[in-house]
Chains A and B, each alone.
Chain A
Amino acid sequence: MATASLSAATDVVVPGSADEAIAAFGDGDDVLVVGGGTIVVPEMTYGRLRPGKALMLARTGLDGIERNGSRTTVGAATPLEELTGLPAPLGPCAANVADVEIRSQATVGGNICAGEGHEAPRGDLQGAFLALGATVRSAGEGGIVEEPLEEFLPKRRHRLLLSVSYDEPAAGAFAGLDRPHTHDYTALAVSGARATDGTLRLAATGAGWWGVRLPSAEAAADDPVAAGEAALSDVDPQDDALASAWYRAKVLPVLVRTVLDELKGAA
């Protein structure tokens, strides 16, 4: 079928280390990075992606979770299933993704870098990592850069994500719409985390084309009901295959309130 001819037209590179992957990625021009493949393989099957080069990360050793004091670093090729036992918001957020077979194949890098799809937003984990104030290491034009996830997200398509790091929060919470059946994407979810210095971060997945912080809700966090309403000014929900903008606008305040109540309970 079409994929055979696609394969023939695509230069497939299977690096055996992170250094080889970085060299093969270069400036990222016309390079498709394949982690687990759960998102991009169907895109190629259905002819929506025709990369000049496919960079396969499975044998790069870019997987694994490392802890150094309070700092946790997750490799880009780590399967989502390995995150499910972590504290909120990340653990329950990862557990809310698809099903165990998909989670065991899908990778953190693929999830963070996927972003918008043709039918719906993607990037289930973006909200949880934003709430944790995560930073990411990536390679590409200009070499290896470490920067906040918020700054990385708009340019994620042109970078090779290597790892994502965050400090364990004092408290975390996650609330999302019920997990959809099988291989679907998060329709709407809110993550919250209170850092050890008291900083509160709230972020949403599914309220725009990629994960966004909710600064207005953060500013009103002392009143969870008001914060929920305030969150609406931070997002631009859209109609797509998973939910309508109207529905998301109705549910977002509830999820924000739920997360803030849970964080209060954990204080």
Chain B
Amino acid sequence: MNVTVNGVTHEIEGGPLTPLLDVLREELGITGPKAGCHQGSCGACTVLVDGEPRRACLIPSVYAEGKEITTVEGLGTPEDLSAIQEAFIHHYAAQCGFCTSGMMVAAKAYIDRGGTDDPEAIQEALGGHMCRCTGYAKIIEAVSAAARGDSFDLTTTAVGKYTTMTTGGAE
């Protein structure tokens, strides 16, 4: 069985009922999707399946065959962050970070399908994602900013100021 993740096709050994999350993390070593609850309740494992946000823990591998899977690793690189990743850094939308990859993947899907900066619409779109740090206000601010197309200069707003996550090293 073949599964395509972030543009790379992998032949996998896991059985057809093995959750996609286990294939990604245990077999392919792609650990952006987090194993929070393994029952679809937390949203931390969310990936894009042909562009649609889905819980990787609920998808039997056989359903992923022939689909394009995108994890948070596929959104951008440290040298070339995607807009939603920049917004999360700028707005301090990650605390412990466990929910962040699922949140960003779901937010990307929301924005890609024309989602606006309306906080209620964002809450609806991200309603399946838990942040145990309760950092929802900052997360919604970040998604709103990305939906508006705000741009950020992370060399002044982020590095060494709001986060230890750097784009080139804190000065």
Q: In the assembly, what is the distance between CA of A12 and CA of B60, in Å?
A: 11
Contacts A1-B22, A37-B58, A46-B39; A100 near B63 (Cβ below 8 A): no
Contacts A7-B14, A8-B15, A102-B40; A37 near B127 (Cβ below 8 A): no
Report whether A101 and B15 are in contact in the complex, using a CB–CB cutoff of 8 Å: no
Query: Which residues from 58 to 104 on chain A have a C-beta closer than 8 Å to any C-beta of chain B?
Result: 58, 98-102, 104
Whether B91 sits at the interface, judged by CB under 8 Å, is no
Report whether A100 and B125 are in contact in the complex, using a CB–CB cutoff of 8 Å: yes
Whether B3 sits at the interface, judged by CB under 8 Å, is no
Contacts A104-B54, A183-B128; A12 near B16 (Cβ below 8 A): yes
B162 smallest CB distance to A (angstroms): 28
Q: Chain A residue with minimal CB distance to B43?
A: A182
Which single member of A45, A54, A56, A58 contacts B19 (CB below 8 Å)? A45
Which single member of A12, A45, A56 contacts B39 (CB below 8 Å)? A45
Q: Which residues of A contact B106 (CB under 8 A)?
A: 101
Q: Which residues of B contact A10 (CB under 8 A)?
A: 15, 17
Report whether B15 and A3 are in contact in the complex, using a CB–CB cutoff of 8 Å: yes
B150 smallest CB distance to A (angstroms): 24
**Size bin of chain B's contact surface:** 20 to 34
A66 smallest CB distance to B (angstroms): 23
Contacts A42-B57, A45-B39, A182-B41; A3 near B17 (Cβ below 8 A): yes
Q: Which of B43, B63, B124 has the most CB of A within 10 A?
A: B63
Contacts A56-B63, A98-B128, A183-B41; A41 near B15 (Cβ below 8 A): no
Whether B138 sits at the interface, judged by CB under 8 Å, is no
Q: Which residues of A contact B117 (CB under 8 A)?
A: none
Q: Chain A residue with minimal CB distance to B124?
A: A100
Q: Chain A residue with minimal CB distance to B46?
A: A101
Report whether B38 and A45 are in contact in the complex, using a CB–CB cutoff of 8 Å: yes
Q: Which residues of A contact B14 (CB under 8 A)?
A: 4, 7
Whether A184 sits at the interface, judged by CB under 8 Å, is yes
Q: Which residues of B contact A170 (CB under 8 A)?
A: none
Report whether A41 and B127 are in contact in the complex, using a CB–CB cutoff of 8 Å: no
Report whether B128 and A41 are in contact in the complex, using a CB–CB cutoff of 8 Å: no
Which single member of A1, A14, A101, A104 contacts B62 (CB below 8 Å)? A14
6 extra A-B contacts, CB within 8 A, seeds A10-B15, A182-B40, A183-B55? A3-B18, A7-B17, A14-B62, A46-B39, A101-B55, A182-B130
By a beta-carbon cutoff of 8 Å, the part of chain A in contact with chain B is 1, 3-4, 6-8, 10, 12, 14, 34, 36-38, 41-42, 44-46, 54, 56, 58, 98-102, 104-105, 181-184
By a beta-carbon cutoff of 8 Å, the part of chain B in contact with chain A is 14-19, 22, 26, 38-43, 46, 52-55, 57-60, 62-63, 106, 124-125, 127-130
11 contacts between A and B (CB under 8 A): A3-B18, A10-B15, A37-B59, A37-B60, A41-B17, A56-B60, A98-B128, A99-B127, A100-B125, A100-B128, A183-B39
